[in-house]
């Protein structure tokens, strides 16, 4: 493909200029020089190469108060496209994006029990071609892509080991990279979804205000991605659930990881449902008119919204423990921004408010400059978009 041939011919200087334009464009030459310390002649040579390879374009002139208006440069938005894939526990998603990080197409499907690796890949392929048709983009314009998924995994070999609490069947040592590459006929890189999400959020900050970001996704499990000094912090086996297995109760209940009293024992969809049911068994009053075994997380959220005392008690306790875990964690790594996301945070305002109360209660004064934000800039697309962006990062 033309993309690979062109990218192979780029020098380090070319790539450096490209990265600045990709991150900060539209941008003037003067500003690029400020970021790169390059001489104008060197910069001009690099930009000529990037324009020839259709990676960047001149897009017009900057508004000026007098004198000659400086030209603005940006990435070429209509030459190369990328696919971003997110395989998570409850859903999978496919997006199509360009060099400008725009999401041009997105579609997701539920990961029901029968969603085996083969069926999932077939769905992804179907959505991918549907997206191409809708956008009227020919397949050879897609340069490649990335997958953000659940650990533990081997990102080099592209294998998902056996993820915990993964309901869809057959996900045991799955060579997902190879399967996707065969189905889509292109190169796909793979990383943990929390890493790809935190990378997307890092790129979205064009002021480079934040170089230390934590991304927390609370759902069936708790996943965390961390960027420190602009670099993704890798974890053992790319598992990214270490935070969820931080012990917050020395006398706590046993966790499936082998420890006791982990954050995840209190602040996950499963633990919330478990706690709620255990309270009903103790005689507390529920308004959910269902058999105890059929009560779902969504039932509890709805009950809480209707003002049910039990549902709110369970959510408040769960949020309190998560808040304590987060306060402990930020004291160690000192991030500038913490992005709170995932099904629990997104589906319950009440839970989110309890969580903020807990953080406020336990955080110490000099950590008060840490920003806690809900969802992040790319919301539910962060994992897939970040995966596509990691592919570009690897090539350019
Ligand atoms: Zn644990």
Q: What is the CATH number of the domain that holds 32?
A: 1.10.10.10
Distance 250 CA to ligand 1 centre (A): 12
**Continuous H helices in 159-296:** 176-184, 193-204, 269-281
How far apart, in whole angstroms, are the C-alpha atoms of residue 219 and residue 167? 13
Number of domains in the chain: 3
Nearest to 261 by CA among 246, 274, 272: 246
Contact between 76 and 99 under an 8 Å Cβ cutoff? The reply is yes
> Which residues are found with C-beta within 5 Å of the ion, ligand 1?
245, 255, 257, 259, 262
Distance 255 CA to ligand 1 centre (A): 5
Distance 218 CA to ligand 1 centre (A): 14
Confidence of residue 234 (pLDDT cuts 50, 70, 90): confident
In the predicted model, is pLDDT for residue 63 greater than 80? no
Locate 3 and state its tokens: 């993309």
Nearest to 275 by CA among 290, 292, 260, 259: 292
Distance 148 CA to ligand 1 centre (A): 22
Q: Are residues 47 and 109 in the same domain?
A: no
Distance 326 CA to ligand 1 centre (A): 15
Cα of 273 vs its chain's centroid, Å? 25
Distance 241 CA to ligand 1 centre (A): 9
Distance 262 CA to ligand 1 centre (A): 5
Range(s) of the domain holding residue 58: 2-75
Q: Are residues 42 and 185 in the same domain?
A: no
Distance 96 CA to ligand 1 centre (A): 36
Distance 321 CA to ligand 1 centre (A): 14
| Rounded to 5°, angle at Cα 249 from 245 and 251 | 120
Q: Are residues 150 and 293 in the same domain?
A: no
How far apart, in whole angstroms, are the C-alpha atoms of residue 11 and residue 76? 19
Distance 261 CA to ligand 1 centre (A): 7
pLDDT at residue number 65: 67
Distance 190 CA to ligand 1 centre (A): 25
pLDDT at residue number 66: 67
How far is residue 363 from each of residues 273, 356, 366, measured CA to CA in Å?
A: 28, 10, 9
| Domain final residue, candidates 44, 75, 106 | 75
How far apart, in whole angstroms, are the C-alpha atoms of residue 354 and residue 309? 14
Q: Are residues 85 and 58 in the same domain?
A: no
How far is residue 43 from each of residues 30, 38, 48, measured CA to CA in Å?
A: 10, 6, 9
Q: Are residues 185 and 215 in the same domain?
A: no
Tell me the average pLDDT across 167-177.
96
Contact between 214 and 338 under an 8 Å Cβ cutoff? The reply is yes
Give the residue, 366 or 134, on which the prediction is more confident.
Answer: 134
Confidence of residue 210 (pLDDT cuts 50, 70, 90): confident
Give the residue, 67 or 180, on which the prediction is more confident.
Answer: 180
Collapsed DSSP state (helix, strand, coil) of residue 339: strand
* End-to-end Cα separation, the chain, in angstroms: 15
| Rounded to 5°, angle at Cα 318 from 314 and 319 | 115
Confidence of residue 137 (pLDDT cuts 50, 70, 90): very high
Distance 223 CA to ligand 1 centre (A): 12
pLDDT at residue number 239: 76
Tell me the average pLDDT across 10-20.
95
Query: What is the phi/psi pair of residue 266, to 5°?
Result: -120, -30
In the predicted model, is pLDDT for residue 240 greater than 90? no
Q: Are residues 370 and 268 in the same domain?
A: yes
Q: 190-228 burial by CB neighbour count: b if 16+ within 10 A, else e?
A: bbbbbbbbbbbbbbbeeeeebebbbbbbbbbbbbbbbbe
Distance 323 CA to ligand 1 centre (A): 17
pLDDT in tens, 113-133: 999 999 999 999 999 999 999
Which CATH number does the domain housing residue 283 bear? Answer: 3.30.420.40
Q: Are residues 191 and 260 in the same domain?
A: no
Q: Are residues 168 and 134 in the same domain?
A: yes
**Continuous H helices in the chain:** 2-8, 12-24, 29-36, 40-52, 117-135, 176-184, 193-204, 269-281, 297-305, 309-333, 343-347, 349-362, 382-395
Q: Mean pLDDT in the chain? A: 93
In the predicted model, is pLDDT for residue 62 greater than 80? no
Nearest to 170 by CA among 219, 238, 119: 119
Q: Are residues 214 and 333 in the same domain?
A: yes
Q: Are residues 34 and 95 in the same domain?
A: no
| Domain final residue, candidates 27, 49, 75 | 75
How far apart, in whole angstroms, are the C-alpha atoms of residue 373 and residue 368? 13
| Domain final residue, candidates 75, 94, 126 | 75
Q: Which of 1-10, 147-156, 236-245, 295-304 has the highest mean pLDDT?
A: 295-304
Distance 161 CA to ligand 1 centre (A): 18
Give the residue, 263 or 364, on which the prediction is more confident.
Answer: 263
pLDDT at residue number 17: 96
Question: How large a percentage of the chain has pLDDT more than 70?
Answer: 97
Q: Are residues 178 and 217 in the same domain?
A: no
In the predicted model, is pLDDT for residue 230 greater than 70? yes
How far apart, in whole angstroms, are the C-alpha atoms of residue 215 and residue 272? 21
In the predicted model, is pLDDT for residue 30 greater than 80? yes
* DSSP states of 52-85: HTTSEEEEEE---SSSPPPEEEEE-TTT-EEEEE
Distance 242 CA to ligand 1 centre (A): 8
| Number of neighbouring beta carbons within 10 Å of residue 134 | 12
Confidence of residue 204 (pLDDT cuts 50, 70, 90): confident
Distance 168 CA to ligand 1 centre (A): 21
Q: Are residues 108 and 215 in the same domain?
A: no
Give the residue, 65 or 116, on which the prediction is more confident.
Answer: 116
Distance 243 CA to ligand 1 centre (A): 9
In the predicted model, is pLDDT for residue 207 greater than 80? no
Distance 222 CA to ligand 1 centre (A): 10
Distance 7 CA to ligand 1 centre (A): 43
Tell me the average pLDDT across 8-34.
94
């Amino acid at each position: 493909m033309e993309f690979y041939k062109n990218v192979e011919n780029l020098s380090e200087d070319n790539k450096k200029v490209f990265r600045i334009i990709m991150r900060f464009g539209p941008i003037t030459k003067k500003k690029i020089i400020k970021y790169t310390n390059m001489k104008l002649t060197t910069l001009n040579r690099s930009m000529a190469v990037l324009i020839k390879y259709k990676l960047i374009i001149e897009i017009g002139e900057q508004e000026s108060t007098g004198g000659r208006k400086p030209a603005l440069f940006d990435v070429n938005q209509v030459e190369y496209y990328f696919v971003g894939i997110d395989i998570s526990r409850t859903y999978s998603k496919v997006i199509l994006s360009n060099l400008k990080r725009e999401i041009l197409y997105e579609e997701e499907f539920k990961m029901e029990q029968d969603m085996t690796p083969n069926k999932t890949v077939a769905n992804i392929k179907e959505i991918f071609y549907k997206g191409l048709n809708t956008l009227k983009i020919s397949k050879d314009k897609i340069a490649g892509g990335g997958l953000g998924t659940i650990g533990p995994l081997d990102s080099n070999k592209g294998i998902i080991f056996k993820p915990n609490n993964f309901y869809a069947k057959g996900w045991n040592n799955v060579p997902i990279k190879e399967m996707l590459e065969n189905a889509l006929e292109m190169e796909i890189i793979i990383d943990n979804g929390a890493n790809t999400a935190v990378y997307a959020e890092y790129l979205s900050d064009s002021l480079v205000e934040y170089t230390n970001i934590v991304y927390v996704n609370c759902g069936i499990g708790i996943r965390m991605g961390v960027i420190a000094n602009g670099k993704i912090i890798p974890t053992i086996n790319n598992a990214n659930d270490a935070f969820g297995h931080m012990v917050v109760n020395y006398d706590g209940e046993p966790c499936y990881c082998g420890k006791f009293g982990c954050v995840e024992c209190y602040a996950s969809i499963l633990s919330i449902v478990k706690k709620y049911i255990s309270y009903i068994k103790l005689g507390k009053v529920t308004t959910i008119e269902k058999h105890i075994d059929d009560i779902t997380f969504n039932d509890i959220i709805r009950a809480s919204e209707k003002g049910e005392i039990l549902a709110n008690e369970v959510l408040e306790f769960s949020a309190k423990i998560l808040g304590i875990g987060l306060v402990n964690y930020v004291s160690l790594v000192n991030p500038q921004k913490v992005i709170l996301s995932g099904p629990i945070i997104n589906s319950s305002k009440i839970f989110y408010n309890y969580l903020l109360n807990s953080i406020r209660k336990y955080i110490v004064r000099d950590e008060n400059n840490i920003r806690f934000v809900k969802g992040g800039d790319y919301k539910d697309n962060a994992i897939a978009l970040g995966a596509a962006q990691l592919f570009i990062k690897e090539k350019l």
